[in-house]
Amino acid sequence: MDTHTSLIVLATKNEHKIVEIKAMLGSIVDCRTLGDYLTITVKEAGRTLLENSLAKAAFTFKTTGQPSLADDSGLFVDALDGEPGVYSSRYGKNDTDRIDKLLKNMATKKNRAAAFRAVFIYYFAPQKYEVFRGECHGEIALEPRGTHGFGYDPIFIPKGYTKTFAELGPDVKNTISHRAKALVKFKTYLKRSA
């Protein structure tokens, strides 16, 4: 039958069930999840924060029929010609690897300037969306510090501070970060169009 395939999407978000079912079926079919589909959508998308954010927002709007908000963000390091940038989340297999790689690449660099950039897309009707951008300048620390946040937070020191995002914690980060700045614009937009 041509209706059958070697790829199956598991209709669950229960991680335990995913592990169990993959253990039993994984040898004969490629088991994906709904969450994988968001990732696949984005991997097939563009090479800019805008294109990735738009792909995620459009997919989510199409799937749910509800206004959707997507963010794509990255850390752009001056001495690395803007790397990891749009590839920030694919720079290594986990946060620790990504931070290690970035610090190694920065080992001989004197210019440690960098910026976090975020591009939010608010997709609210078919083919209709608005873009909100935010940027946070700072520099790359010499070693990871702090336990809050995620991603590159332990090695990013925002301008005007001596501590990393991971040391400063959510109250500060959610006020001055790239995402915070973009979301302030989004909130203003929502109030105006309410």
Q: Could you tell me if residue 66 is left (phi over 0), alpha (psi between -120 and 50 degrees) or otherwise beta?
A: beta
Stretch that binds a copy of itself, among 78-86, 102-110, 121-129, 156-164 (CB under 8 A): 121-129
Instruction: Find the binder of a copy of itself among 17, 47, 109, 159 (CB under 8 A).
Output: 17
Nearest to residue 116, comparing CAs of 135, 132, 129?
A: 135
Instruction: Find the binder of a copy of itself among 45, 61, 83, 85 (CB under 8 A).
Output: 61
Nearest to residue 102, comparing CAs of 160, 162, 156, 159?
A: 156
Question: E strands, the chain, where?
Answer: 7-10, 30-33, 68-77, 113-125, 128-140, 156-158
57 binds a copy of itself (CB under 8 A): yes
Q: What is the x/- site pattern for a copy of itself, positions 78-117, by CB under 8 A? A: ----------------------------------------
Please tell me the distance from the alpha carbon of residue 107 to that of residue 85, in angstroms, as a whole number. 18
In a 3-state reduction of DSSP, which class is residue 111? coil
Contact 157, 112 (CB under 8 A): no
26 binds a copy of itself (CB under 8 A): no
171 included as an active-site residue: no
| Options 71, 72, 95, 100, the catalytic residue | 72
**Which residues contact a copy of itself (rule: CB under 8 A)?**
1, 3-5, 7-14, 16-17, 20-21, 23-25, 28-29, 31-32, 34-35, 37-39, 56-57, 59-61, 63-64, 66-71, 122-125, 128, 149-151, 170, 173-174, 179-180, 183, 186-187, 190, 193-194
